[in-house]
């Protein structure tokens, strides 16, 4: 199927208003794929009309920020091999000309590139992106390397390669939480949720935020693996002041009712410890946000997360 990559300047000639044509709308459709060793990619697309009555395929793609060295660069090749169908008709292949952007929970509003197709425009149609199954091996020179499979499944670009206790500079140590830790939880509109427990502790004369988090049962395929991304959008207040933002490096543990004694990771707040800090309660804030939005031939699914 012949196709021509067209720029944003040409998109302005599409029917429906210039401003709307450079960003994906709320009718975006998602296709996710993951590698067997973790990490993955997401392709977000939608159809737009052109002034001559044809259809443009607009979209972007993202790959996980965290993935193994074996799969670096593999996502782009898979995007090149992807094909797009509408009502069983192939309208595009090789999506390598679509722009790559950072992973995000909601692709509505993402700046998009477009591919002009020969399909005549008809409102209500939805693109379906298919990514090939692929085996990836890094063995060379007679040596052996792991055999890694790619399949169209999972949470895509929000998938992480490894689930480990982060050992970044800000994480000074782990220690058991006390009974004074604050606990908050949020829920996905589709079921399940996340629970966060945290407290302030002095370590070597400096204030640290120590905490853990847990996934709560009942999640579906669209929300599994999103917990750490939710925490990256979370923050902590004390006495009306924000003292910590981005809690994504806290340790994940199994869900429980009482987190007293849970082995927590600690974030260095880069502030000297003051004794009065122990007397002022923390306020933990989880985001209220759309975490999944996709339109399929069966309809649209929108999943929210909120405390």
Q: What is the pLDDT of residues 253-285, one digit of tens each?
A: 999 999 999 999 999 999 999 989 888 999 999
**Confidence category of residue 173, pLDDT binned at 50, 70, 90:** low
- Sorted by sequence, the CB contacts under 8 Å of residue 158 that are 6+ apart come out as 40, 42, 64, 103, 105, 225, 226, 229
pTM for this prediction: 0.85
* 118-138: pLDDT as tens digits: 999 999 999 999 999 988 765
The HSE-up count of residue 37 (CA atoms within 13 Å, CB side) is 17
In angstroms, the Cα distances linking 294 to 14, 91, 301 are 23, 20, 5
- Highest average pLDDT, of 12-26, 163-177, 277-291, comes from 277-291
Q: Is it the case that residue 17 has pLDDT exceeding 80?
A: no
How far is the C-alpha of 242 from the C-alpha of 283, rounded, in Å? 9
**Confidence category of residue 4, pLDDT binned at 50, 70, 90:** very low
Q: What is the mean pLDDT of residues 209-213?
A: 97
Phi, psi (degrees; rounded to nearest 5) at 74:
-70, -30
Q: Is it the case that residue 142 has pLDDT exceeding 80?
A: no
How far is the C-alpha of 88 from the C-alpha of 65, rounded, in Å? 33
Q: What is the mean pLDDT of residues 287-299?
A: 96
Q: What is the mean pLDDT of residues 32-47?
A: 92
Taking alpha carbons only, the member of 296, 289, 156, 299 closest to residue 222 is 156
User: Which residue bears the tokens 């149609």?
Assistant: 125
């Amino acid at each position: 199927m012949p196709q021509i990559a067209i720029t944003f300047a040409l998109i302005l000639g599409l029917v429906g208003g210039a401003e709307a044509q450079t960003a994906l709308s709320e009718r975006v459709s998602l296709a996710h794929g993951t590698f067997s060793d973790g990490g993955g990619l997401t392709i977000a697309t939608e159809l737009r009309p052109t002034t001559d009555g044809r259809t443009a395929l607009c979209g972007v793609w993202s790959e996980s920020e965290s993935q193994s060295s074996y799969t670096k660069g593999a996502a782009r090749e898979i995007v090149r091999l992807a094909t797009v169908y509408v009502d069983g008709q192939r309208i595009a292949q090789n999506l390598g000309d679509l722009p790559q952007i950072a992973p995000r929970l909601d692709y509505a509003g993402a700046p998009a590139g477009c591919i002009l197709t020969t399909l005549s425009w008809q409102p209500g149609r939805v693109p379906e992106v298919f990514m090939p199954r692929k085996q990836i091996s890094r063995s060379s020179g007679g040596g052996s390397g792991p055999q890694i499979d790619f399949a169209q499944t999972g949470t895509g670009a929000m998938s992480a390669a490894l689930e480990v206790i982060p050992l970044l500079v800000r994480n000074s140590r782990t220690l058991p939480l006390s009974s004074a830790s604050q606990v908050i939880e949020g829920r996905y509109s589709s079921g399940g949720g996340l629970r966060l427990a945290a407290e302030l502790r002095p370590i070597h004369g400096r204030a640290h935020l120590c905490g853990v988090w847990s996934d709560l049962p009942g999640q579906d395929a669209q929300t599994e693996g999103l917990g750490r991304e939710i925490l990256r959008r979370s923050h902590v207040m004390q006495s009306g002041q924000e003292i910590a933002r981005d809690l994504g490096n806290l340790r994940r543990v199994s869900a429980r009712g009482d987190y007293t004694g849970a082995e927590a990771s600690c974030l260095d707040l880069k502030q000297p410890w003051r004794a009065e800090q122990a007397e002022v309660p923390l306020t933990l804030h989880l985001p209220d946000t759309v975490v999944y939005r996709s339109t399929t031939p069966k309809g649209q699914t929108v999943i929210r997360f909120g405390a």
